[in-house]
């Protein structure tokens, strides 16, 4: 399927590795000019080179921390006429409710709510004027299925979800869509960290912990980054213009609810 986005420009936040990188690669394969972002220059440049070699399309690297005003300005100035924005950022470390104080919540909201909202604010008017825009927020399955050890992530990302739902109703008339991807158990570096945490809690080996986690997934396997990236690319397509304000589970069928 031709997604109709060749030649478009995309900013993908926190995309030098993991889920952001997967989205950047899938978009680049569709002919989109992508702007890679990360805080580590070596990692960013490596990812730029890798995607260029794989797709042969234009790829740019921007070293910036999107949790800062300076970093957001730098990224937005590198691509002031973005047609696509994928927001993403590392999630807070899991923990216990009674251990979190005010500063922990402020940091979580700075990274996982305010940073994406302010990036959206920076591109939205231009998208509306050009009558094309695709905004994808990479959030978390915890938005719809909260667990106490992910309370920081849940609170910030649920707030982002609410803001974007409200905005989506205002901008759909301009062919600007805003959707959220809710990953769970996609095989990235984040899952290595979570598996190591589980192994420590249960006092078992890493491989045993990984097998235990996989059994808890309806598909009995981890999701691939390629699967995740391609879902993102489709939501950015011309064909997806009638899909907006949605929370799309990417979890191997594990979510137990019906809405």
Question: Per the confidence metrics, is the pTM higher than 0.75?
Answer: yes
Tell me if 88 sits within 8 A of 19, measured CB to CB.
yes
CB contact at 8 A, 11 and 75: yes
Q: What is the DSSP letter of 90?
A: P
* The pLDDT of residue 232: 98
- In whole angstroms, how far apart are CA 163 and each of 36, 53, 84, 153? 25, 38, 18, 16
The pLDDT assigned to 194 comes to 87
Rounded to the nearest integer, the mean pLDDT of the chain is 96
pLDDT tens readout for residues 142-168? 999 999 999 999 999 999 999 999 999
pLDDT one-digit tens code per residue, 173-231: 999 999 999 999 999 988 898 899 899 999 999 999 999 999 999 999 999 999 999 99
Quick: pLDDT tens for 193-209.
889 989 999 999 999 99
């Amino acid at each position: 399927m031709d997604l109709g986005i060749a030649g478009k420009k995309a900013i993908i936040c926190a995309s030098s590795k993991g889920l952001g990188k997967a989205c950047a690669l899938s978009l680049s394969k569709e002919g989109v000019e992508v702007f890679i972002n990360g805080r580590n220059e070596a990692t960013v440049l490596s990812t730029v080179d890798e995607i260029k070699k794989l797709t042969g399309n234009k790829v740019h690297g921007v070293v910036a921390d999107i949790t800062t005003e300076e970093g957001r300005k730098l990224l937005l100035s590198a691509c002031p006429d973005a047609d696509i924005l994928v927001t993403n950022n590392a999630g807070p470390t899991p923990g216990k409710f009674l251990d979190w104080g005010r500063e922990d919540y402020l940091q979580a909201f700075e990274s996982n709510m305010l940073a994406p909202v302010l990036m959206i604010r920076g591109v939205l008017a231009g998208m509306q004027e050009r009558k094309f825009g695709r905004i994808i927020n990479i959030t978390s399955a915890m938005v719809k299925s909260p667990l106490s050890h992910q309370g920081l992530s849940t609170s910030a990302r649920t707030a982002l979800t609410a803001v974007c739902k409200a905005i989506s109703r205002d901008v759909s008339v301009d062919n600007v869509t805003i959707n959220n991807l809710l990953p769970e158990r996609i095989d990235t570096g984040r899952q290595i960290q979570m598996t190591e945490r589980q192994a420590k809690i249960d006092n078992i080996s890493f491989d045993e912990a990984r097998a235990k986690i996989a059994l808890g997934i309806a598909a009995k396997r981890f999701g691939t980054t390629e699967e995740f990236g391609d879902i993102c690319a489709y939501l950015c397509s011309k064909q997806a213009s009638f899909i907006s304000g949605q929370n799309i589970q990417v979890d191997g069928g594990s979510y137990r609810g019906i809405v």
